[in-house]
Amino acid sequence: MTIEDKIKEIEEEIRKTPYNKATQHHIGKLKAKIARLKAEQEKSESGGKGGLGYGIKKSGDATIIISGFPSVGKSTLLNKLTNAESKVAGYEFTTLKVIPGALKYKGAELQLLDVPGLIEGASKGKGRGKEVLSVIRNADLLVIMIDAQKPEQLEKIKKELYDAGIRINQNPPDVKIKKTLTGGIHIQKTPKVKMGNDEIKAILEEFGIHNAEVLIRGKIDTDKLIDAVIGNRKYVPAIFVVNKTDIKNPNIPGTVSISAKEGIGIKELMEEIFKKLRFVRVYLKPQNRGPDFENPLILKEGSTIEDVCLRLHKEFKERFRYAVINGPSAAYKNQRVGLNHKVKDEDIVTIILGG
Ligand SMILES: Nc1nc2c(ncn2[C@@H]2O[C@H](COP(=O)(O)OP(=O)(O)OP(=O)(O)O)[C@@H](O)[C@H]2O)c(=O)[nH]1
Ligand SMILES: [Mg+2]
């Protein structure tokens, strides 16, 4: 029996088992088994190469990947937004490589990648799906594009990404597992966790964990716990774009409507992209001079003055005395702060060095 057959058999069993209090722990165990088999299958198939693959390196402040079924208009959008010239044509799989482009937006350098189209079954390798998905996993943001004439593509592409271990617009589950040598499995959980201990144990045991201290916080279900245990999921923010709305517009909630060809909705799309990247722009103000509003430092949400220093020069952190800040994170004008002060978008910062 191949791994594939085993997975099918278990999936069939899950389908036949009604889900209720008495069976949930059994189903949890079966789902864990499938996840484990899939991971095994992946290992035996892939060479497991790092980086983006296709000879492309990440660059700039963020890497944004445009993904979707063939012919939805991915290359047309790349060409519209950047100076890249990715081939556009009315047949499927026009793009066979990763085509990079770059653009500057509100002071941020964005790398945009146009990748070959995905098809149903891509997560199982159809249409070189595995290679493309392994590139997609490394995106800082996904722009998932569908064709306005085929709204059903939305759910289909979500499924392919999910099956490839990519979790869209989801926070990683808050689960800590500390393996121990003896003593069985001890579970601590916050009130929001509704999963029963039997099911949690069954899942862990399926992954060969028999002794551990487990701490689970926040909302979790069977699938999310399995994700946490398996550990190789990618949590990627994404926005959904409906292209070719010049032909028709299905107005799907939670999506951005554009026409890449006619240049409609592009401004709104860029605004959404920028918002979703959650950048923090910091304007540096040298002492006795005005702030540099043209070239902000682009940092990630949660960054501190220390991160600002590290960006500027190796020595800045060592010679740091204090920083003077104005703007959203300042409690009052010209507030003096230390290295661990968190900066906010559009702060104005002066670093004061000593010796
Ligand atoms: N009407 C209309 N046609 C578009 C739009 N965007 C792209 N197209 C057309 O759709 C076809 C496919 O466009 P591409 O940009 O090559 O699509 P792709 O997603 O890169 O396709 P693959 O590389 O094959 O995956 C071309 O004929 C484009 O001219 C749009 O906004 N409106
Ligand atoms: Mg293309």
Give percent above pLDDT 90 in the chain: 78
Distance 147 CA to ligand 2 centre (A): 13
Q: Is the pLDDT of residue 48 over 50?
A: no
Residues 317 and 342 in one domain: yes
Q: Do 82 and 60 touch, CB atoms closer than 8 A?
A: no
Is residue 76 lining ligand 1, measured as CB closer than 6 Å? Answer: yes
Least confident of 40-44, 165-169, 209-213, 305-309: 40-44
Distance 92 CA to ligand 1 centre (A): 9
Q: Is the pLDDT of residue 47 over 50?
A: no
| Domain membership flag for residue 51 | no
| Residue nearest to ligand 1 atom 25, measured at CA | 70
Distance 125 CA to ligand 1 centre (A): 24
| Residue nearest to ligand 1 atom 27, measured at CA | 90
- State the pLDDT at residue 125: 82
Give the tens place of pLDDT for each residue, 160-189: 999 999 999 999 999 999 999 999 999 999
- State the pLDDT at residue 42: 75
| DSSP assigned state of 259 | B
| Domain membership flag for residue 291 | yes
Distance 166 CA to ligand 1 centre (A): 25
Give the tens place of pLDDT for each residue, 63-80: 999 999 999 999 999 999
Burial 148-160 (b: 16+ CB within 10 A, else e): beeeebbebbeeb
pLDDT grade for 237, boundaries at 50, 70 and 90: very high
Distance 86 CA to ligand 1 centre (A): 11
Which of 243, 277, 311 delimits the end of a domain? 277
Is residue 264 lining ligand 1, measured as CB closer than 6 Å? Answer: no
Residues 245 and 117 in one domain: yes
For the CA of 72, the closest atom of ligand 1 is 19
Distance 74 CA to ligand 2 centre (A): 5
Residues 138 and 95 in one domain: yes
Residues 343 and 319 in one domain: yes
Q: Who's near 96: CB < 8 A, 6+ residues apart?
A: 116
- State the pLDDT at residue 4: 87
Distance 66 CA to ligand 1 centre (A): 13
Residues 21 and 123 in one domain: no
Residues 135 and 255 in one domain: yes
Residues 163 and 211 in one domain: no
Residues 163 and 262 in one domain: yes
Q: Quickly list H helices, the chain.
A: 3-16, 24-45, 74-81, 129-136, 153-163, 197-206, 222-230, 266-277, 305-312, 314-318
Residues 126 and 252 in one domain: yes
Residues 151 and 243 in one domain: yes
Residues 272 and 284 in one domain: no
Domain range for 270 = 62-170+234-277
| Domain membership flag for residue 50 | no
Taking residues 133-138, report their average pLDDT: 92
| Residue nearest to ligand 1 atom 24, measured at CA | 93
Substitution site in 88, 91, 160 for ligand 1 pocket (most atoms within 8 Å of beta carbon): 88
- State the pLDDT at residue 228: 94
Q: How many domains does the chain have?
A: 3
Which of 254, 277, 300 delimits the end of a domain? 277
| Residue nearest to ligand 1 atom 21, measured at CA | 71
| Domain membership flag for residue 319 | yes
Substitution site in 94, 242, 247 for ligand 1 pocket (most atoms within 8 Å of beta carbon): 94
Q: Which ligand is nearest to the CA of 90?
A: 1
User: Rg (Cα) of the chain, in Å, rounded?
Assistant: 24
- State the pLDDT at residue 284: 96
Q: Quickly list H helices, 17-152.
A: 24-45, 74-81, 129-136
| Domain membership flag for residue 53 | no
Least confident of 52-66, 250-264, 325-339: 52-66
CATH number at residue 129: 3.40.50.300
| Domain membership flag for residue 256 | yes
Phi, psi at 54, each rounded to 5°:
55, 20
∠ Cα 137 225 159 (to 5°): 45
CATH number at residue 332: 3.10.20.30
For the CA of 145, the closest atom of ligand 1 is 19
Which of 249, 277, 305 delimits the end of a domain? 277
| Domain membership flag for residue 54 | no
Residues 36 and 71 in one domain: no
Is residue 96 lining ligand 1, measured as CB closer than 6 Å? Answer: no
| Domain membership flag for residue 55 | no
